[in-house]
Structure 1
Amino acid sequence: MNLNKIDFNLLKVFVTVYQEKSLKRAAERLFVTTPAVSQNIKKLKEALNEELFVLSHRQFVPTPYSDDLYAKVFPLLEGIGLALEETKIFDPSTLQQSFNLDVSPHLQVWLGTSLFKTFHEQSPRSTLVLHTITSSTLTGLCDGSIDAAIHFEAENLPPEIVAIPLIQLEFMIAMRRDHPFKKSEAYIDELLEYSFGHIDLAYLDPNKHSRLEDLLKEAGINIHMAMRTTSVAGLISTIMNTDIIGPCFPPTIETVSQHVRLVRVLDMLDLTTIQLYLFIHQKNLSSPKYKWLTEIISDAVKVDSK
């Protein structure tokens, strides 16, 4: 392949289409029209004289040639981008791009608004994309389709992903205000007569389970987990309208504190707090753009968790 004949902008479009598997989504990321993306892919195909994608179930599936090309081109483009960033004074107000963050559902209830305010004030022409963290988040962090993730787990990570500690959040039990249990503090045995609800957090590591369940199981204590969900809003609504109780963090409950109260567990020292992390690719650690993103995320978490 003679790179002297290849427009590097075509390679940038190729990388985005490869990651998104969609011309439309690639166009949205690049702030261009879908026909423009299609035309660029056609130009690159003709320049290389190779088939790059095939349409299957409305997705652009890369060919083996594209897999090999992406593996070689993506690191080079990333390196060029970082080098260019480091040679100029970084000003977020000049950016015009999307920032894709995958966030634990526990955090979206309270973190999204303040994070967006700061983000929009400092980079008004950019777009903040907040999605719920999934089992494919680590893959997205590795291939660059996801800029950062915010979550609680920090085990079994790929070597290229770095976990940056943000803050520790207090673990408490949430229940409706007129719940039959009236105390503000409790030993776990006092709560076991009630059914529990739980937010599924096993996104990055499928072997992860509820810390509460694991600790009680180790102690030979049975717990009735009556509800499992990935929806914090769904769990809170159920807590507000039934006798079910569930582990939550104070910032999550703040907006519904007139209906829900928190009970501190006195004898679960291993669950007193849980560490929150920001996950990014190690190649971005020295990038001014990612340093800025890390800073505004860290500030938003610290402000909202007070």
Structure 2
Amino acid sequence: MHLHRIDLNLLVVLDAIFSEGGITKAGEKLHLTQPAISHALARMRELFGDPLFVREGRRMVPTPLARSLMQPVRRALHGLEVALNEAQRFDPATTQRHFTIGVRDVLEATVLPPLLARIATAAPSVDISAIRVDRRTLESELAAGRLDAALDVLLPVSDDIRHQRISADRLVVVARQGHPATAGQFDLAAYLRAHHVLVSSRRSGPGLEDLELSRQGFKRRIRLRCQHYFAACRVVSQTDLLLTMPERYAAIANRQYANQILPFPVPMPPMDVYLYWHASVDNEPASRWLRAQLIATVEQPQQAA
């Protein structure tokens, strides 16, 4: 027999009739009418191909099949009740839980270290997986529960996906110490005269900074396109190429290279970071706790700065 054929409410009724010894008392225990209990019993008799209970005087006596079912049924119902209660209570100090977060690699470097430091002692049995998610499947991943939350730029999502702006970043320019473009005033003209590194996971197409430059009628020369900012920072430290990247990650990635970090010479709106989650977990204690940790982690460095 397949589980999809069984209404779990029928098992609750089965347990009540067994423990109370009759349809009327089972109805009183479950706050259901006698016809509702009788209908549920008729469905179970058809499902199992057995009368399950036979009347002896005023009592309903279980058949051998019903007696054999009761121990596993009660064990299963108890296990389900415990699991549901645990999910509703969620104590981060004691609950074992694994969360999966969708995050771009730029945010991974800035968010994960303070997040893990924050929850290390407060939630010793909580584990985190940070994965890269295709933006086209973000909504379906959240809906299916394969993602507990996600951090990304503002994306078009349906009403089933909740989102909240939690921080903003800005673009900066990274150059090696002694770069000739920084010898005098570093302005847009100096920026455009230099050659550049573009970091992108896509094989082709402009970066965010190129779109803004194009909108204002400018174009820069890109000598290198690569996949990771860390590699680009190393290239910059050994060449005269310039790199444009988010400020927070620039502060981390360039510590070992002592590269200069300069303002991006073109006014741009801030790069907002949004937290995404599915509407179905709006009030789930575990999800609310995770979102609170992510918000506090992302906002804290900004306030400190």
Distance 1:294 1:244 in 2: 39
Distance change in 2, residues 1:173/1:98 (3 Å):
same
Gaps of 5+ in 1: 9-79
Distance 1:184 1:95 in 2: 58
**Post-superposition offset of 1:132:** 3.0
The secondary structure found in structure 2 opposite 1:117 is helix
Alignment of 1:37-56 (within 5 A): none
For the pair 1:269 / 2:267, whether they are aligned, the reply is yes
**Post-superposition offset of 1:93:** 1.9
Alignment of 1:15-30 (within 5 A): none
Contact 1:185 1:263 in 2 (8 A): no
Q: Aligned residue for 1:141?
A: 142
Alignment of 1:285-304 (within 5 A): 285-304=282-301
Deviations along 1:67-100, whole A, 9 cap, x unmatched? Answer: xxxxxxxxxxxxx99x946984431122212111
**Post-superposition offset of 1:201:** 6.8
Deviations along 1:211-270, whole A, 9 cap, x unmatched? Answer: 21112212221222333333222222222222222222332122323522211134x222
Gaps of 5+ in 2: 12-79
Contact 2:181 2:194 in 1 (8 A): no
Contact 1:105 1:133 in 2 (8 A): no
Distance 1:207 1:143 in 2: 31
Distance 2:129 2:87 in 1: 27
Alignment of 1:98-117 (within 5 A): 98-117=98-117
Q: Aligned residue for 1:38?
A: none
Q: Aligned residue for 1:211?
A: 208
Q: Aligned residue for 1:284?
A: 281
Alignment of 1:189-208 (within 5 A): 189-200=189-200
Distance 1:195 1:207 in 2: 18
Distance change in 2, residues 1:276/1:185 (3 Å):
farther
TM-score normalized with structure 2 length: 0.64
Contact 2:88 2:285 in 1 (8 A): no
Distance 1:176 1:122 in 2: 41
Distance 2:183 2:145 in 1: 48
The secondary structure found in structure 2 opposite 1:181 is helix
Distance 2:245 2:268 in 1: 15
The secondary structure found in structure 2 opposite 1:101 is strand
**Post-superposition offset of 1:293:** 0.8
Alignment of 1:141-290 (within 5 A): 141-152=142-153, 154-182=154-182, 186-200=186-200, 210-255=207-252, 256-257=254-255, 259-266=258-265, 268-271=266-269, 273-290=270-287
Distance 2:165 2:204 in 1: 22
Distance 1:88 1:150 in 2: 25
Contact 1:86 1:288 in 2 (8 A): no
Q: Over aligned residue pairs, what C-alpha RMSD do you find?
A: 3.5
Distance change in 2, residues 1:167/1:201 (3 Å):
farther
Contact 1:99 1:129 in 2 (8 A): yes
The range that moved more, 143-152 or 216-225, is: 216-225
Seq. identity, %: 15
Q: Aligned residue for 1:125?
A: 125
Distance 2:96 2:227 in 1: 32
Distance 2:123 2:175 in 1: 39
Distance 1:156 1:138 in 2: 10
Q: Which has the larger radius of gyration?
A: 2
The range that moved more, 139-148 or 226-235, is: 226-235
Contact 1:166 1:301 in 2 (8 A): yes
**Post-superposition offset of 1:191:** 0.3
